[in-house]
A and B are shown apart, each in its own frame.
Chain A
Amino acid sequence: MKKATALAVLTAVAIALTGCTDSDATDPSPGTSGDLRKVRVAALPISETAALWGGIKAGIFREQGLDVEVVPAQGGAQAIPALLNGDIDFAIGQPFGPFRADLQNLGVVIIGNYASSYADGDDINAVVTSAKSGITRPAQLAGRKVSVNSLGAAGDVTIMAAVEKDGGDPAKVKFVEVAFPDAPAQLAAGNIDAAWVTEPFITQLRKRGDVLVVAPYQATVPGLTTLTTITSSKLKDSNASLVADFSAAMKKTLTWAKDPANEKDLRQAIKDNLTLPEAVADSVRLPAFGWELDRAGLEQLATLAQKYRVLDRRPDFDRLIQQQ
């Protein structure tokens, strides 16, 4: 009886396995990989990472003698410790990760930009509210419950700045932490009054009739960087050539990604690496890619963060920012 069951299960598995697919399989790499240096890069599983995926697929890193493995990280919280203990070599993440790491003297450096918001036009993130909330301008967010994906980062800092700029009391905004994908449901359920979200959720929310209150980056620090490229100072000192080669490849990759001619490849990279619906992958608004850091913008962000007591000190920018 038992044996028969086991046999049946085995047969079922065997039948199921014939004609298997493998969605993880990567394209066979052209050229040799013999003398490539292995590099592990942590990146968030979001559409912005398309440039990195696309650049790897386009062979830009291989040209520099690098074999890149993208390690999906949940956030800077996991990436920076991994960076420090040598588990990964580089990470792409929001600037507050390195800010805080620097304040704790952890030895992290920003070696370049990755993506920025837009100084004009539709931005890549925004505060959205339901039509019936009656909120139309940033000042009205005071006293309301606003969600951000991570407390104590660029989201709440720039929203507070936008509220103050509009004449509201920034201290009265009640921030709660809600992940971007959960925000639409929370907004609809009335658990929050407004949500700070990125694409594709802005489009999704506006389609159902919700209204855009403000794009806080654009309103306070236009063109503010959203994602930076970081590494540990230890790696930078001990293996300067690797850092230089990686930086060169990143620079090329981001230039490649900025070229509208390559947009199709970028969107294909999103489809290959994320489980997003096809239509969303085709319509999601991509950020402004670029390698050159806007140090003034970052310093301004840190100033605001200090002002709103999100950071209690100022990072040492001369040490932290080492544009390659």
Chain B
Amino acid sequence: MTAVGTGRARPRDLGVQVAENVLFAVGLPVLAVGLWAVWSTRSTNRFLVGPRTLLDAFRQTWIGPAFADDVLPSVYRLLIGLFTSILLGVAAGVVIGRFRPLREILEPLLEFFRAIPPPVLIPVAMLLLGITDTMKVVVIVSGAIWPILLNTIEGVRATDSVMLETAYSFRISRWDRLWRLILPAASPRIMTGVRQALSVALILMVISEMFASSAGLGYRIAYFQRNYLIAEMWSGILLLGLIGVVLAVVFGVVERRVLRWYHGMKEVTRA
């Protein structure tokens, strides 16, 4: 990666290289789990469990009907909320970003809404919408939309003036201007917003279920905790972590695809 320490520049055996990469990737996690396993056999803390117990609990708790009853609805709401946020955030962001007076009128207001810690909107949503699935989705949207909206506005606003003039001079249609100029030009910022929205949405999915629910992942974890089902609770935390990781990976793949030009361009200018 760096210029330093490239003493061994001669091409090495491919197998060795792959083995080394794998070792680096799994070395620390394996070591950590090993230490954890050893430690758990000696620990007397009743709120911590060993990896074996955790895995058993995970299998028993989540593989089966609980997956369809608790996990899928949660994930479904999360995805609906996220996609709604992206759709609304980008659409509103384009309008506000393109129209300067509107932007100036709304800016302080939007800054304020973004600054509200999203979980405090849960009680408000419960008041206005009752305890329904719609409310949970609305809560997710009302928290996740701000980073997307504000980043889209910023990205649209910063669309290069020469690119815009090019579009005007070639009489490129409104439609093409939106899809082939403004949105692509703003896409790096939009993706930044979506990445932030991802973690906010996940937090809100969990919290809204801890508050007002009789099902769902968040409710289930809180339920296990209330009943001192420690291993099951840990398995829920693990599952949430896995969902977070999967979301991050999927996002990473999408981002790399959508922003391939951007990363390529940055690499070229850096070189």
Report which A residues bind B (CB closer than 8 A).
75-77, 80-81, 100-101, 103-104, 106, 150-152, 175-179, 182, 185-186, 189, 191
Q: Assuming the A-B contacts A106-B46, A186-B130, are A177 and B227 also in contact, with contact meaning beta carbons closer than 8 angstroms in the complex?
A: no
Q: Assuming the A-B contacts A176-B214, A179-B212, are A186 and B228 also in contact, with contact meaning beta carbons closer than 8 angstroms in the complex?
A: no
Number of residue pairs A-B, CB distance < 8 angstroms: 44
| Contact across chains for A191 and B131 when beta carbons are under 8 A apart | yes
| Contact across chains for B226 and A77 when beta carbons are under 8 A apart | yes
Which single member of B46, B132, B226, B229 contacts A191 (CB below 8 Å)? B132
The complex places the Cα of A189 from the Cα of B222 at a distance, in Å, of: 26
Question: Nearest Cβ distance between residue A74 and chain B, in whole angstroms?
Answer: 10
Closest residue of B by beta carbon distance from A189? B130
Closest residue of B by beta carbon distance from A179? B212
| Contact across chains for A175 and B214 when beta carbons are under 8 A apart | yes
| Contact across chains for A104 and B228 when beta carbons are under 8 A apart | yes
**Which B residues are in CB contact (< 8 Å) with A75?**
226
| Contact across chains for A76 and B212 when beta carbons are under 8 A apart | no
B159 in the interface, Cβ–Cβ < 8 Å? no
Question: Nearest Cβ distance between residue B129 and chain A, in whole angstroms?
Answer: 9
B83 in the interface, Cβ–Cβ < 8 Å? no
The complex places the Cα of A106 from the Cα of B228 at a distance, in Å, of: 9
Report which B residues bind A (CB closer than 8 A).
46-47, 126-127, 130-132, 212-214, 219, 222-223, 225-230
The complex places the Cα of A77 from the Cα of B221 at a distance, in Å, of: 12
**Which B residues are in CB contact (< 8 Å) with A179?**
212
Please report whether the interface of chain B is mostly helix, strand, loop or mixed according to DSSP.
loop
Pick from A75, A175, A178 the residue with the most CB of B within 10 Å: A178
| Contact across chains for B219 and A177 when beta carbons are under 8 A apart | yes
Question: What would be 13 A-B contacts, judged by CB atoms less than 8 Å apart?
Answer: A77-B222, A77-B226, A100-B227, A103-B228, A104-B46, A104-B229, A104-B230, A178-B212, A182-B126, A182-B130, A182-B131, A186-B130, A189-B130
Which single member of B223, B226, B229, B230 contacts A76 (CB below 8 Å)? B226
Which single member of A100, A152, A177, A189 contacts B228 (CB below 8 Å)? A100
| Contact across chains for B228 and A182 when beta carbons are under 8 A apart | no
Question: Nearest Cβ distance between residue B91 and chain A, in whole angstroms?
Answer: 30
**Which A residues are in CB contact (< 8 Å) with B226?**
75-77, 100, 150
Pick from B213, B219, B225, B226 the residue with the most CB of A within 10 Å: B226
The complex places the Cα of A176 from the Cα of B229 at a distance, in Å, of: 20
The complex places the Cα of A178 from the Cα of B127 at a distance, in Å, of: 13
Question: Nearest Cβ distance between residue A63 and chain B, in whole angstroms?
Answer: 36
| Contact across chains for B130 and A177 when beta carbons are under 8 A apart | no
Pick from B127, B213, B223, B227 the residue with the most CB of A within 10 Å: B227
**Which B residues are in CB contact (< 8 Å) with A182?**
126, 130-131, 212
The complex places the Cα of A106 from the Cα of B47 at a distance, in Å, of: 10
**Which A residues are in CB contact (< 8 Å) with B223?**
151-152
Closest residue of A by beta carbon distance from B46? A106
| Contact across chains for B46 and A186 when beta carbons are under 8 A apart | no
**Which A residues are in CB contact (< 8 Å) with B132?**
191
Closest residue of A by beta carbon distance from B127? A185
Closest residue of B by beta carbon distance from A102? B228
Question: Nearest Cβ distance between residue B13 and chain A, in whole angstroms?
Answer: 54
Question: Nearest Cβ distance between residue B202 and chain A, in whole angstroms?
Answer: 22
Which single member of B127, B130, B227 contacts A152 (CB below 8 Å)? B227
**Which A residues are in CB contact (< 8 Å) with B219?**
177
**Which B residues are in CB contact (< 8 Å) with A100?**
226-228
The complex places the Cα of A260 from the Cα of B229 at a distance, in Å, of: 43
**Which B residues are in CB contact (< 8 Å) with A103?**
228
| Contact across chains for B212 and A185 when beta carbons are under 8 A apart | no
Given contact pairs A106-B228, A191-B130, enumerate 12 new A-B contacts (beta carbons under 8 Å).
A76-B226, A77-B225, A81-B47, A100-B227, A101-B228, A103-B228, A104-B46, A104-B229, A152-B223, A175-B214, A179-B212, A182-B130
Question: Nearest Cβ distance between residue A303 and chain B, in whole angstroms?
Answer: 19
Question: Nearest Cβ distance between residue A233 and chain B, in whole angstroms?
Answer: 14
Which single member of A151, A152, A178 contacts B131 (CB below 8 Å)? A178
**Which A residues are in CB contact (< 8 Å) with B126?**
182
Question: Nearest Cβ distance between residue A99 and chain B, in whole angstroms?
Answer: 10
**Which B residues are in CB contact (< 8 Å) with A76?**
226
**Which A residues are in CB contact (< 8 Å) with B229?**
104
| Contact across chains for B130 and A185 when beta carbons are under 8 A apart | yes
**Which A residues are in CB contact (< 8 Å) with B130?**
182, 185-186, 189, 191
The complex places the Cα of A178 from the Cα of B47 at a distance, in Å, of: 28
Closest residue of B by beta carbon distance from A103? B228
**Which A residues are in CB contact (< 8 Å) with B47?**
81
Which single member of A80, A177, A185, A189 contacts B214 (CB below 8 Å)? A177
| Contact across chains for A177 and B46 when beta carbons are under 8 A apart | no
Closest residue of A by beta carbon distance from B132? A191
**Which B residues are in CB contact (< 8 Å) with A151?**
214, 223
